[in-house]
Structure 1
Amino acid sequence: MVYWDVLQVRSWTLYVAATPFGLCRVTLPGESLDDDVKWRMRFMPGAQWRHDPGALQTFTQQLSEYLTGTRQDFFGTLDLYGTPFQRAVWQALLTIPYGETRSYQDVAQMIHDPKAVRAVGGANHANRIPIIIPCHRVIGKQGDLVGYGGGLEVKQALLKLEQQTRRIFC
């Protein structure tokens, strides 16, 4: 069983899903319900889906608080689907502090594979739990914003939110 809900924060709509093992999906603004259904059919064929806001309340509340600038950290179990390399990258991303960024090269070094810069980008692209697994905090070597599934405008908005609210938390 996969439980899902819709979270509306400001002008952003996010679709959130979890299995009994943990959170497995967060969409980014701009992804439609049709996009989400296509994702479901590709990555979780045969799964039974049930709209159940109560099952996702912990995650939707935390995401709402994050997007309104009142939360820095997330807690809860994640149900990660990916290769061992992707999972290593995602675990490394979880260590990037709120309001800070790292380059793709930095992340490759964090996982002790300094030549895997492009593969780190591929793992970021495969991240099904963006925001919570903060792939938006990964930038180009020269500090430029590059590559984000939700678009660079969303990446910039998330980084700006963290920069502005980081001062409040520090």
Structure 2
Amino acid sequence: MGLFLALGLAGCVTAPNSTDLSQAGSPTTSVIPTATPSSDDHQATTTDSPTATDGCGPPILYEPWSADTPLRATLGGNRLRIPVDLGARANASGEAMLDDEGRPVAYVVAPDDLWADVADRFCLHPDYINALNQVRRNGAFELYVGDTLNLSPYTVTTVGSENGDVLDNPAPDPLPTQR
């Protein structure tokens, strides 16, 4: 039996790839999904370079979850994360607006900005930024120069615009107290 199994598997070796990729055109943006595990959840980010999220560290929360205030510490089921601005970069070169404590609370979109790169700049998952912007925008995947993206869970209903418009979509539940 062992000899038959070995002979049967002998034909399962793949041939080396003989395609010459040196003649292929290179894409303008390389998108490489990478897993970014953290101590309190698992998330995947999309990045155009291996160093896009260097410096992020573990997520910093506005309010740690507690049994006494379980809904205040989440936005539609997401923990309330404090953005960390790693600075302007390719495809995320807009202006960050800060609160009195120096934390990023909003972002003004610049030419050529891409959604995933803006998320990487602020050490946030794109789905979290989308949740922050789902009320005043139709999501945050479509960016226009001059758009304001909300980065604070406390201004979901008061900060943000899409292509010059301010929308009034349903708020996520739960929603922390708004300013």
Larger fraction in helix: 1
Q: Which gives a bigger RCO, structure 1 or 2 (Cα 8 Å, sep 6+)? A: 1
Q: What's the TM-score once normalised by structure 2's chain length?
A: 0.31
Determine which structure has more spread, i.e. the larger CA radius of gyration: 2
Q: What's the TM-score once normalised by structure 1's chain length?
A: 0.32
